[in-house]
Amino acid sequence: MKKSKLIFLVTLLVSCFSAKAVEYIPITTNNTCLVLKVNDKNRLEQTYFGKKVKDMGEMKTVDQETFASYSTFGTNHVFEAALRAIQADGNTSTELGYVSSSVKKIDGNITQTTIELKDEYYDLFVTINYKAYQQEDILEQWVEIKNGQKKSIKLTNFASSDLSFNATEYYVSHFHGDWSNEMNISEQKLTEGIKIVDSKLGVRTNQFTHPSFILSLNQQASETSGEIIGGTLAWPGNFQFCFEVDNSNKLRVISGANPYASEYTLEKNEVFKTPSLLFTYSNEGTGKMTRDFHRWARKYGIKNGNKERSILLNNWEATYFDFDEAKLTRIIDDAAKMGFELFLLDDGWFGNKHPRNADNAGLGDWQTNTKKLPNGIPYLINECKKRNIKFGIWVEPEMVNPDSELYEKHPDWVIAQPHRERVLQRNQLILDLSNPKVQEFVYNTIDNILTENPGIEYVKWDCNRYVFNSGSSYLPADKQSHLFIDYSKNLLEVMNKVSKKYPNVTFMACSGGGGRIDYGSMKHFDEYWISDNNDVLQRITTQWGAQYFFPTIGLASHVSVAPNHITNRSFSLKSRFDIAMAGKLGMDLQPSQMTEKEYEFSKNAIQKYKEIRSTILMGDLYRILSPYKQNRTTFMYVNDNKSEAIVFNFLVRKEIYPTPPTIVLQGLDPNKKYTLKEINKDPDDWSRFSKYEGKTFSGDYLMTVGLHFAMYNEYESLVIQLNETK
Ligand code: DGJ
């Protein structure tokens, strides 16, 4: 044998049997960086997540601390695992080895990294995918798990992401509440052991909790400084975030669809695709995190994220189920005269054999009620057209009342366990979306309404209950535990099909208030209804909570009657308008029931909103004073070129001897001059803002010295418009 050939063979043999070279996989955005590493044992590890370093090469010059990445229940992992699979032969362990990785530029802003892993013995393949959104500093991660074995395998844990941290202290903020009291934020210090934030409701899963978390390292979360990781799961189904602080004070965060009661069988060659976790790192507190998510959402997360929204009048609180053609025509007429751009017809327009005159009948029978609306929906569309406003309609396509023709025909279409009571919630049952026939029905419901009534430009898609007894008459006995996953997967498919067919129809995600707001659904929805509660105080905290992750452009907020129907508290029309104008303005009351003064105020406020809505809906949000910390709440929006800002102030408790806080503004251009003016002023009250009215200050002054004015009365509000003065 020639000498050179021998050397080649020896080198080959040595390289085959010696430890593999360490490989680094950096996933970067403009300001952040997640670094994964393939160690000498061919395992994938996380070695860094934080602020981007200028020279990534330096990362390789010294051994960094490492953590298991996408941990498995295997042979050497003693904490919660991202993946637990039972192989076809019954082996309960998984050991993933690195196979390859690749990077693809999707466009100028998105880079996709794909990492292929395979069990060291079994044909179980795992693909971890990351999309890095450069400008917005958002990372998206999802995982595909493929069974290559001849027989089926079972997955009991199937997380989307597994991130680790080493800090002195960890604080987690998450969102909780219930119907009419959504999105309260609560922050806790993590102690040794596990904290789980999850939902097990199956459908309308955000009623009690929300699939978003804020993790603050070393200190409590602050708005303007400190290391923050914000994560939100793009999934309308059950979710779970598991925070585990281990014996050496390291933290592992495992996020994904909830494995609870959801063991999933994968047949040969079947792939389980997890939902995406969207996450970001900020070293400038929660403020930057929010602005990054809002910018990302307007581009990628919410349907038509950069398109102007219509100001609408909704008849729900104005009439509930009690309406007819004449009443609605009157409301449409009033709405158009007041300056509204769309009329939204809510629940109660359908059902004949079982008319929908209350919430106990008709759901599922999507034929216009001929008694209430003898000329059908086209008549109302036409009444709107005549007045140059748009028409929208309410649906709840996934549900059925037992008192309906649909249930008479298909009693087996509902989610229910055999031999158990069919427990009702709001007098209704849930249609079983694991069944393809039901999927088709749900899709056709919306499609038929839209094709049979051309001219509908807005759809409010509601969903008013969650799952109690999760059985499916469609799924086989050994796959009953697929229901939670399959329902959500199929729901997303229906949403996708609908939004593809109707790209220009505006869709609102509603779920008995804010029960379904997640980035899996929001891709197909232009707006979201965060709560049925339009009480000003309640709205302050609910909107505050929702806006941590979800953009103002979708945040529908309505002026409703006083006293409020849910809390019985009374608020001035001005403060009701002010809080609704802080989001996407709408109204739920009848103009005909207003006094002349109220009518004038409303008309002017709507006009004003039209002038400033682009700054509110598409501007950057800065939270200045938190409703959780003091009597005063202040937040502001600044438009892209920093030429306009709108500052909202609310007083939540009476101040007899006011101790006004200094409102130090943020986000302005220090070198620009701004003229200040109060808007939506109550014509019958004196101005708290008179010392600043009409005056001009530099952005520098406003962001350093700030504003200082008293507010006195419980629930009073004050809105300031700042415009650049050249
Ligand atoms: C619950 C929604 O949140 C309300 O706005 C309204 O549409 C009702 N459902 C109608 O039943």
Backbone angles phi, psi at 65, to 5 degrees: -65, 145
Q: Residues 610, 672: one domain?
A: no
Which residue from 462, 508, 516, 561 has its CB within 8 A of the most atoms of ligand 1, so it is best to mutate?
462
Give the gyration radius of the chain's Cα atoms: 28
pLDDT beneath 70, residues of the chain = 1-20
Smallest CA separation from ligand 1 atom 10, residue: 347
What's the pLDDT score for residue 7?
44
Give a yes or no: residue 418 inside a domain. Answer: no
Q: Residues 88, 194: one domain?
A: yes
What's the pLDDT score for residue 15?
40
Q: Residues 204, 278: one domain?
A: yes
Give the domain-ending residue among 618, 639, 671: 618
Which residue from 178, 207, 316 has its CB within 8 A of the most atoms of ligand 1, so it is best to mutate?
316
Report CA(462)–ligand 1 centroid distance (Å). 7
Give a yes or no: residue 356 inside a domain. Answer: no
Burial class (CB in 10 A: 0-12, 13-18, 19+), 655: middle
CATH number of 675's domain: 2.60.40.1180
Report CA(364)–ligand 1 centroid distance (Å). 15
Residue 158 forms beta bridges with which residues? 83
Contact between 546 and 530 (Cβ < 8 Å)? yes
Q: Residues 164, 279: one domain?
A: yes
Which pairing describes strands 555-559 and 527-529: parallel, antiparallel, or unpaired? parallel
| Residues in contact with 75: Cβ distance below 8 Å, sequence separation at least 6, in sequence order | 93, 95
Residues whose beta carbon lies within 6 Å of some atom of ligand 1: 316, 346-347, 394, 462, 464, 510, 512-513, 529, 532
Give a yes or no: residue 368 inside a domain. Answer: no
Q: Residues 713, 696: one domain?
A: yes
Backbone angles phi, psi at 576, to 5 degrees: -65, -40
Report CA(346)–ligand 1 centroid distance (Å). 7
Cis peptide before 402 (omega within 30 of 0): no
Report CA(712)–ligand 1 centroid distance (Å). 35
Give a yes or no: residue 523 inside a domain. Answer: no
Report CA(464)–ligand 1 centroid distance (Å). 8
Give the domain-ending residue among 301, 331, 358: 301
Report CA(347)–ligand 1 centroid distance (Å). 7
Which residue from 182, 313, 323, 532 has its CB within 8 A of the most atoms of ligand 1, so it is best to mutate?
532
What's the pLDDT score for residue 20?
63
Domain span at 588: 318-346+551-618
In ligand 1, the atom with minimum distance to the C-alpha of 511 is 3
Q: Residues 279, 325: one domain?
A: no
Q: Residues 200, 340: one domain?
A: no
In ligand 1, the atom with minimum distance to the C-alpha of 532 is 3
Give a yes or no: residue 509 inside a domain. Answer: no
- Domain tally, the chain: 3
In ligand 1, the atom with minimum distance to the C-alpha of 529 is 3
Tokens matching residue 256: 């994904």
Which residue from 179, 313, 359, 394 has its CB within 8 A of the most atoms of ligand 1, so it is best to mutate?
394
> What gap in Å lies between CA 630 and CA 651, rounded to an integer?
9
Q: Residues 607, 707: one domain?
A: no
| Residues in contact with 441: Cβ distance below 8 Å, sequence separation at least 6, in sequence order | 413, 431
Give the domain-ending residue among 618, 642, 665: 618
pTM: 0.96
Q: Residues 29, 161: one domain?
A: yes
Smallest CA separation from ligand 1 atom 1, residue: 512
Give a yes or no: residue 89 inside a domain. Answer: yes
Smallest CA separation from ligand 1 atom 9, residue: 512
> What gap in Å lies between CA 28 and CA 51, rounded to an integer?
10
First vs last C-alpha separation in the chain: 85
CA–CA–CA angle 227, 233, 235 (5° rounding): 170
What's the pLDDT score for residue 54?
86
Kindly state the helix (H) or strand (E) to which residue 635 belongs, with its residue range. Answer: strand 632-638
Amino acid, single-letter form, for residue 487: Y
Quick: pLDDT tens for 313-345: 999 999 999 999 999 999 999 999 999 999 999
Q: Residues 627, 613: one domain?
A: no
Give a yes or no: residue 87 inside a domain. Answer: yes
Sign of the Cα torsion 451, 453, 454, 459 reads negative
Smallest CA separation from ligand 1 atom 2, residue: 512
Smallest CA separation from ligand 1 atom 5, residue: 532
Give a yes or no: residue 393 inside a domain. Answer: no
Report CA(320)–ligand 1 centroid distance (Å). 9
Which residue from 464, 531, 542, 557 has its CB within 8 A of the most atoms of ligand 1, so it is best to mutate?
464
Report CA(685)–ligand 1 centroid distance (Å). 35
Q: Residues 71, 200: one domain?
A: yes
Within 10 angstroms of residue 115's Cβ, the number of other Cβ atoms is 22
Q: Residues 176, 89: one domain?
A: yes
DSSP character string of 416-471: --TTS----BTTBEEB-TTSHHHHHHHHHHHHHHHHHSTTEEEEEE------SS--
CATH number of 275's domain: 2.70.98.60
